[in-house]
Chain A
Amino acid sequence: MAKVILKGIRKSYGPIEVLSGIDLTIENGDFAVILGPSGCGKTTLLRTIAGLETANAGSIQIGERIVDDIPAARRQIGMVFQTYALFPHLNVYQNISFGMRMRNEPKDQIEQRVQEAAVKLKLEDYLKRLPRELSGGQRQRVAIGRALVREPEVFLFDEPLSNLDAELRVDMRLELSALHQQLKATMIYVTHDQVEAMTLGTKIIVLDKGVLQQVGTPLEVYYHPANKFVAGFVGSPRMRFIPGEVVSNADNKLQVRAQGILSGDIAFDLEGSDLSEGDFVDIGVRAEDIECGQATNGMVSFSGISRQVENMGHSSFWYGTIKDTEIEIIARLGKQTQVKSGAQMEFSIDPRNLYLFDSDGRAILRNVDKNTELAEHVALPS
Chain B
Amino acid sequence: MSVNKLTGGLSLRQLRPAIVISTLGLSFFAIITWYPLVFMVATSLKTRDQFFQNFWGFTYPFDWQNYVDVWPRAFQGIQNSLLYSSLTLVLTLIFSLLGGYAFGRFNFAGKNFIFLAILMLLMVPGIVTIVPLFVLVRQLGIMNSWAALVLPWTGFEMVFGIFLMRLFFEKLPHELFDAARVEGAGELKVLFFVAIPLALPGLGSVAILDILFTWNDLVWPLVTMSDQANLPAGPMAMLFRGSENVDYGAIFAAYVTLSAPLVILFTFFTRQFLRGIEGI
| A, B from the same assembly | yes
Which residues on A are within 8 Å of B, measured CB to CB?
Answer: 47, 50-52, 71-75, 77-79, 81-83, 85-89, 98-99, 102-103, 146, 150
Chain B 139-177 interface mask (CB, 8 Å, partner A; 1/0): 000000000000000000000000000000000010110
Given contacts A102-B184, A146-B183, contact A85 B175 (CB under 8 A): yes
Say how far A104's CB is from chain B's closest CB, in angstroms.
10
Chain A min CB distance to B107 (Å)? 12
Q: Is the interface of B mostly helix, strand, loop or mixed?
A: helix
Contact with A along B171-208 (1 / 0, CB 8 A): 00101101111111110010001100110000000000
* A-contact 0/1 string along B32-72, CB 8 Å cutoff: 00000000000000000000000000000000000000000
Which residues on the A side are within 8 Å of B182 (C-beta)?
50-52, 72-73, 75, 77-79
- Nearest chain B residue, comparing its CB with the CB of A88: B198
Contact in complex: A150, B183 (CB < 8 Å): yes
CA distance A73 to B194 in the complex (A): 14
> Is there an interface contact between A73 and B173, defined as CB atoms closer than 8 Å?
no
Instruction: Give the docked Cα–Cα distance between A297 and B234 (Å).
Output: 102
Partner of A89, one of B183, B184, B189, B198: B198
Of B173, B176, B184, which is within 8 A of A74 by CB? B184
B180 and A98 contacting across the interface, CB-CB below 8 Å: yes
A87-B194, A88-B198, A89-B197 are contacts. A81–B179 as well, Cβ < 8 Å? Answer: yes
| Selected contact of A99 from candidates B173, B183, B194, CB within 8 Å | B183
B179 touches A85 (CB 8 A): yes
Measured between alpha carbons, how far is A78 from B198 in the docked complex, in Å? 23
The 5 closest A-B pairs by CB, nearest first: A99-B183, A85-B175, A85-B179, A102-B185, A72-B181
**Total of A-B residue pairs, C-beta within 8 Å:** 65
- Closest Cβ–Cβ distance, residue B56 to chain A (whole Å): 51
A87 to chain B: which residues have CB within 8 Å?
176, 179-180, 194, 198
Given contacts A87-B194, A88-B198, A102-B189, A52 and B178 within 8 Å (CB-CB): yes
Q: Which residues of B contact A73 (CB under 8 A)?
A: 181-186
Q: What A residues does B175 contact at CB under 8 A?
A: 81-83, 85
Q: How far is the CA of A56 from the CA of B194 in the complex (A)?
A: 29
Contacts of B184 on A, CB cut-off 8 Å? 73-74, 99, 102-103, 150
Residues A83 and B193 in contact, CB atoms below 8 Å apart: no
19 A-B pairs besides A47-B178, A146-B183 with CB distance below 8 A are A50-B178, A51-B181, A51-B182, A52-B181, A72-B178, A73-B181, A77-B182, A85-B173, A85-B179, A87-B194, A87-B198, A98-B193, A99-B184, A99-B185, A102-B185, A102-B193, A103-B184, A146-B179, A150-B183
Min CB–CB distance A148 → chain B (angstroms): 12
Q: How far is the CA of A47 from the CA of B193 in the complex (A)?
A: 22
How long is the Cα–Cα vector from A88 to B173 in the complex, in angstroms? 11
Interchain Cβ contacts under 8 Å between A and B, 11 examples: A50-B178, A71-B181, A74-B184, A87-B176, A98-B183, A99-B183, A99-B185, A102-B180, A102-B189, A146-B183, A150-B184
Instruction: Pick the most buried of B173, B175, B197, B198: most chain A CB atoms within 10 A of its CB.
Output: B175
B178, B189, B197, B198: the one within 8 Å of A85 (CB):
B178
Cβ of B144 to closest chain A Cβ, rounded Å: 44
In the complex formed, the residue of B with least CB distance to A73 is: B184
Residues of B within 8 A of A79 (CB): 178-179, 182
Neighbouring A residues of B193 by C-beta, 8 Å: 98, 102
B222 → chain A, closest Cβ, in Å? 43
A77 to chain B, nearest CB (A): 6
Complex interface: chain B residues within 8 A of A77 (CB) = 182
Q: What's the nearest-Cβ distance from chain B to residue A268, in Å?
A: 49
Across the interface, which residues of B come within 8 angstroms of A51, CB to CB? 181-182
